[in-house]
């Protein structure tokens, strides 16, 4: 069994309208590998090509150039769809159906026969916490309940790979946490999750690796901890004499001194103790020492704005 | 076939809950029910002719509206609401989706025709005091006419927008009803040149002939007798089935290449 769940090789999707002069590359030469068992965050601003890539992976649209493989098979192979699942952004399910009926409908698409079908539907309703609302029409469901039923339909076939597009968008904090926990739970069961999201704090918390797409081109790829390395510690001190500034500056930090108040942004590399020692030796008082970790949001903004300025 | 029938069931369930379709059905049922009240206006043509042709007219009109309104938005709505993505990401082939949608539409039409047929039979029995087998034959013919129209609309919906589809399907239905008699007229006229006649002949062959299903005429005009009514019925239904099959194959081929 291949250890790669998703692989794209020079994947390009070009749109050229009937009347438009210039064809547009929604995705351009995308080379991506998602490993089995990981949670992979697929990020990018609106129009970056995330949904286009997902549609190619599902065989809903076809690549213009390049190749895409899902679980070792060419993307879009319906036989492969027994092992994958997809939750689109803001999905609409037939709202006249009840939670139980919609899950039964999706189970039928997989050809799951009775009594296994009812057993699985009941298990899933229980798992997503909708057992009590199972026989209510979906039109009476809240956004959070709709998203839970969406996740339940994703699990009806016990998939190896789940592709989730904005799974936590528009949810209240409680529903948000519930869905996030379910995602982590799925990872613990050995599932591969490919998540496209704008909820960067969620991605940072749950994903093992991320890729950032901008204007159809992949501009970042790596493990979260590697990409977010490079935070700093801010040291604020008072009554620091001028002659203490130079030795602190030599430690490599960003230093500013106004009326005896010193602010140091020191790279988190073990030199913070030296800064504190120098301040104290010079007769200054340490007011605060605060670590600042680089966030995925910082990285995202730097990456995208860097791309715009380029 | 499991997936096809599941999609057909969902399509049927959704269609019979569409308010606009229910309103058309209810209005049609009401008009059919009160049709015996028009008996005094029959003048010299007879109450039977009036009631039956009036009922068939209402049923045909309702069936036409239901088929067009229901099928125009069937596929575009699924794409717009992204429901189709959750379906096609399952082990469902695109042809199964198209077939499921069509069978769901035909199921809905069957349900609507059943409702209208029951009311029509009750109304005609009340007014005429007996059961007329022509009514059942007529209902069957109009059901197949609407099913054929549904296949036409579904075919167009695989590649045009709903608004364009309304006009295209409406146009095809109108032409399919008029072309054969128009062709007969111009064939009888020696002054018509081949430049005019050939395109009409070509269109008559290509477009579905909806006029064949219009059974009011033999009922309204009993003097125009069919020599073998059963053969005509079988032939016309056979024509509908073959034409529907061709349209479905074309729809599947187009939909298979469509990007959503």
Residue A9 burial (C-beta neighbours within 10 Å; 0-12, 13-18, 19+):
middle
pLDDT of residue B147 exceeding 60, the answer is: yes
Comparing A73 with B134, which gets the higher pLDDT?
A: A73
Residue A291, H or E segment: strand A285-292
Among all chains, which residue has been given the structure tokens 């008072």? A238
Task: Give the nearest partner residue to A78 out of B13, B83, B91, using CB atoms.
Answer: B91
**Interface contact A105-B10, CB threshold 8 A:** yes
Residue, of A271 and B241, whose pLDDT is higher: B241
Asked if pLDDT for residue B16 goes beyond 80, the answer is: yes
Q: Which residue has the higher pLDDT, A25 or B260?
A: A25
* Chain B residues with CB-CB distance to A88 below 8 A: 82, 85-86
Whether B183 shows a pLDDT value over 90: the answer reads no
The residues of chain A scoring below 70 in pLDDT are 1-2, 17-21, 268-269, 307-310
Q: Within an 8 Å CB–CB cutoff, is residue A82 touching chain B?
A: yes
Residue A59 CA to residue A71 CA, distance in Å, equals 13
B5-31 average pLDDT score: 95
SS3 A30: strand
The pLDDT value recorded for residue A62 is: 92
Write the pLDDT tens digit of every residue in B55-94: 999 999 999 999 999 999 999 999 998 899 999 999 999 9
Of the listed ranges A267-271, B8-12, B82-86, B207-211, the least confidently predicted one is A267-271
Is pLDDT above 80 for B44?
no
Q: Are B88 and A79 an interchain contact pair (Cβ–Cβ within 8 Å)?
A: no
Radius of gyration of chain B (CA): 20
Residue B195's pLDDT is 86
- A55 and B260 within 8 Å at the Cβ level: the answer is yes
CA proximity to B175, closest of B199, B208, B135: B208
Q: Is A80 left (phi over 0), alpha (psi -120 to 50) or beta?
A: alpha
Judging contacts by C-beta atoms under 8 Å, the chain B residues touching residue A91 are 81-83, 85-86
For the residues of A50-103, what is the DSSP string, one character each? HHHHHHHHHTSS--SEEEEEETTEETT-GGGGGSEEEE-SS----TTSBHHHHH
pLDDT at residue number A253: 83
What residues of B are in the A interface, CB distance below 8 Å?
A: 2-3, 5-7, 9-10, 13-14, 17, 81-83, 85-93, 259-260
- The domain locations on chain B are 2-257
Interchain CB contact of A60 with B (< 8 Å): yes
Q: What pLDDT shows up at residue B116?
A: 96
């Amino acid at each position: 069994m291949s250890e790669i769940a998703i692989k794209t090789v020079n994947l390009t999707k070009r749109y050229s309208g009937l009347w438009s002069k210039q064809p547009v590359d929604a995705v351009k030469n995308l080379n991506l590998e998602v490993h089995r068992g990981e949670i992979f965050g697929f990020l990018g601003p609106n129009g970056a090509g995330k949904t286009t890539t997902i549609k190619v992976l599902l065989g809903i649209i076809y690549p213009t150039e390049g190749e895409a493989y899902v679980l070792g098979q060419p993307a879009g192979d319906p036989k492969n769809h027994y092992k994958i699942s997809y939750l689109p952004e803001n999905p609409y399910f037939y709202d006249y159906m009840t939670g139980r009926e919609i899950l039964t409908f999706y189970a039928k698409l997989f050809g799951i026969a009775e009594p296994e079908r009812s057993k699985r539907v009941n298990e899933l309703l229980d798992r997503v916490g909708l057992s009590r609302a199972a026989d209510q029409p979906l039109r009476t469901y809240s956004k959070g309940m709709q998203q839970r039923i969406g996740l339940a339909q994703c699990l009806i076939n016990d998939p190896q790979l789940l592709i989730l597009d904005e799974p936590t968008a528009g949810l209240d904090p409680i529903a948000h946490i519930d869905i996030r926990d379910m995602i982590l739970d799925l990872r613990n069961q050995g599932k591969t999750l490919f998540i496209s999201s704008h909820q960067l704090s969620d991605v940072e918390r749950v994903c093992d690796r991320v890729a950032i797409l901008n204007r159809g081109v992949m501009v970042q790829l790596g493990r979260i901890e590697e990409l977010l390395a490079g935070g700093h510690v801010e040291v604020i001190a008072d009554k620091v004499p001028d002659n203490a500034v130079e030795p602190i500056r030599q430690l490599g930090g960003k230093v500013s001194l106004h009326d005896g108040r010193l602010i140091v942004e020191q790279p988190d590399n073990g030199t913070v103790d030296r800064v504190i020692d120098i301040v104290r030796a010079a007769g200054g008082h340490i007011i605060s020492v605060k670590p600042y970790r680089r966030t995925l949001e910082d990285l995202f903004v730097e990456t995208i704005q860097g791309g715009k300025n380029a | 076939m499991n997936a096809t029938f599941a999609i057909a069931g969902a399509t049927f369930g959704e269609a019979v809950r569409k308010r606009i379709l229910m309103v058309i059905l209810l209005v049609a049922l009401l008009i059919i029910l009160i049709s015996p009240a028009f008996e005094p206006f029959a003048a010299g043509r007879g109450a039977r002719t009036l009631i039956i042709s009036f009922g068939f007219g209402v049923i045909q009109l309702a069936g036409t509206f239901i088929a067009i309104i229901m099928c125009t938005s069937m596929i575009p709505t699924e794409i717009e609401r992204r429901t189709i993505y959750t379906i096609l990401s399952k082990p469902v082939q695109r042809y199964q989706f198209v077939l499921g949608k069509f069978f769901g539409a035909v199921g809905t039409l069957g349900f609507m025709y059943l409702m209208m047929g029951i009311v029509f039979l009750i109304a005609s029995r009340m007014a005429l005091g007996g059961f007329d087998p022509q009514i059942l034959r007529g209902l069957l013919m109009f059901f197949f006419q609407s099913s054929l129209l549904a296949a036409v609309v579904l075919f167009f919906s695989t590649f045009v927008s709903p608004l364009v589809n309304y006009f295209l399907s409406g146009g095809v239905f109108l032409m399919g009803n008029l072309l054969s008699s128009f062709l007969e007229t111009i064939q009888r006229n020696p002054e018509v040149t081949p430049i005019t006649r050939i395109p009409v002949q070509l269109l008559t062959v290509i477009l579905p002939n909806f006029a064949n299903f219009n059974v009011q005429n033999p009922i309204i005009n009993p003097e125009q007798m069919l020599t073998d009514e059963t053969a005509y019925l079988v032939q016309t239904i056979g024509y509908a089935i073959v034409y529907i099959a061709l349209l479905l194959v074309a729809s599947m081929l187009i939909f298979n290449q469509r990007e959503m």
